[in-house]
A and B are shown apart, each in its own frame.
Chain A
Amino acid sequence: MKSDQEAAGNCTLHLLDAAQGHPIQTWQFADCRQVSIGRSDNNDITLTDAQVSRQHVELLFRERDWVMYSYGRNGTRINDELVQEVYLWNTAIFQLGTSGPTFQFVTDQQAPNNSQTIDGVDPSGLDALGIDARLVEEEVGQITESEAFRHLQQHLQRLQRDTDPGGGGPRT
């Protein structure tokens, strides 16, 4: 078994189309600990874009997750905010420079894009969700008739008298 120091991971980087947001080029890295992106030829992903520095970002696998370090002169952004060191999550999107290339980071490919999966039209899982009103009434009735519940109500009445003579409910 590999130690944390030796641990390696898998990741995929999609270069996204600036207008449509769909992948136009993809790089896959398997059993890997380090991925670099920049303008120099010695990077794992080389880009020729004025916004991109010679060594712009580096992704390092740390324990169970990937950490991205930004070294580029024009910075790296996630959700329009500059980041320098950030743990990446599956489907995270980052941009090099202010208007440079945009990548989507995918790891393990076990969880599809969050926004796709929870915004997608697939309500089948909701069909089973429901409330049995009769059962709720029965259970609530049993609890509210219990000694403990009456004791609590008495305690509350004392609290209301003590803390809020105006009747606005117990507050600290």
Chain B
Amino acid sequence: MAKIISIHSFRGGTGKSNTTANVAVMLARKGNRVGIVDADIQSPGIHVLFQLDPGHITKALNDYLWGKCPIEQAAYDVTSTSVGNVTDSDERPRLFLIPASLKTGEIGRVLKEGYDVGLLHDGFKRLIRELRLDFLLIDTHPGVNEETLLSIVVSDHLLLVLRPDSQDFQGTSVTLELARRLGVQNTWLIVNKIPPGMDRLALKEKVESAYSARVVAMLPLNNEMVRLASSGLFVNRFPDHPFSRELRLVADAIAE
């Protein structure tokens, strides 16, 4: 049965999209069919990591939500550029990206008019069926809103990404409590951008104790990620880097 995984953070800038994209590549490399939905409709960006040219995005998640097309028509096969070593006829691995619209007018329309969040869940189910996915990853909009909460509650796993700072600590607590009240069972935490000098073990214990939730990865702040920025997929460029090895734990936990 396919698994849905929502990746969320209380604030922007936590590395949520980078985490989503890199974990998706690792899951695909395990021989899976993986989909990513950029549900961060207000501030889309994950397509950049996959070098998906905005000029080639003719259909987006927005078009589905506004009834213009079935959702699978907004899916772009990014396997060859992100996973590699596959031919067109290979069934597995496959990696699909469903981007959100980059057009400012369409982003504005979402903000102004909203959309029926129930359609999101229908779309997820349809994507899994039509693309025969093993895993569907949802890159959510930071903060707390209705569509984010819906993505969270229909997921098998919720991954909350936070940085070790007081604002993230407080906000993540609110998100986690809301998820619990909505009956979400499997919430995992990823601590990202751990600065030099911070005690990894003490931090992990503190986070697990504060949230009563499992920490699946402790990701160090590193110069290579800063230099790479959004120009590519970190796990492809630095597959043996401590950051990549730690991210692999996330992919392994999801695939368990």
Nearest CB in chain A to that of B172: its residue: A131
Is A78's CB under 8 angstroms from B240's CB? Answer: yes
Report the count of interface residues on A (CB-CB < 8 A).
51
Pick from A123, A170, A171: contact of B202, CB below 8 A: A123
Assess whether A143 is in contact with B223, with CB atoms less than 8 Å apart.
Answer: no
Complex: A122 Cα to B199 Cα, angstroms: 5
Please count how many residues in chain B sit with their CB below 8 Å of the partner chain's CB atoms.
57
Residue from A86, A108, A143 having most chain B Cβ neighbours under 10 A: A143
Indicate if the CB atoms of B200 and A126 lie closer than 8 Å.
no
B199/A140 in contact, CB under 8 A: no
Name which of A12-20, A34-42, A47-55, A149-157 contacts chain B. A149-157
Name the B residues within 8 Å of A28 (CB-CB): none
Task: Let me know if A118 and B198 touch, CB within 8 A.
Answer: yes
A64 within 8 A of B: yes
A115 touches B242 (CB 8 A): yes
In the assembled complex, the CB of B251 is this many whole angstroms from the nearest CB of chain A, namely 17
Closest to A116 in B: B196
Assess A65 versus B227: contact at CB under 8 Å? Given A87-B237, A172-B2. Answer: yes
A: residues with CB less than 8 A from B are 64-65, 78-79, 81, 83, 86-87, 89-90, 92, 107-108, 110-112, 114-115, 117-126, 128-132, 135-136, 139-140, 143-144, 148-149, 151-153, 155-156, 159, 169-172
3 closest pairs, A vs B, by CB? Answer: A117-B196, A118-B200, A123-B199
20 intermolecular pairs with C-beta atoms under 8 Å apart: A65-B227, A65-B237, A78-B240, A81-B240, A111-B222, A122-B199, A123-B198, A123-B199, A123-B202, A126-B198, A129-B210, A130-B166, A130-B210, A131-B169, A136-B170, A152-B150, A152-B182, A155-B150, A169-B183, A172-B4
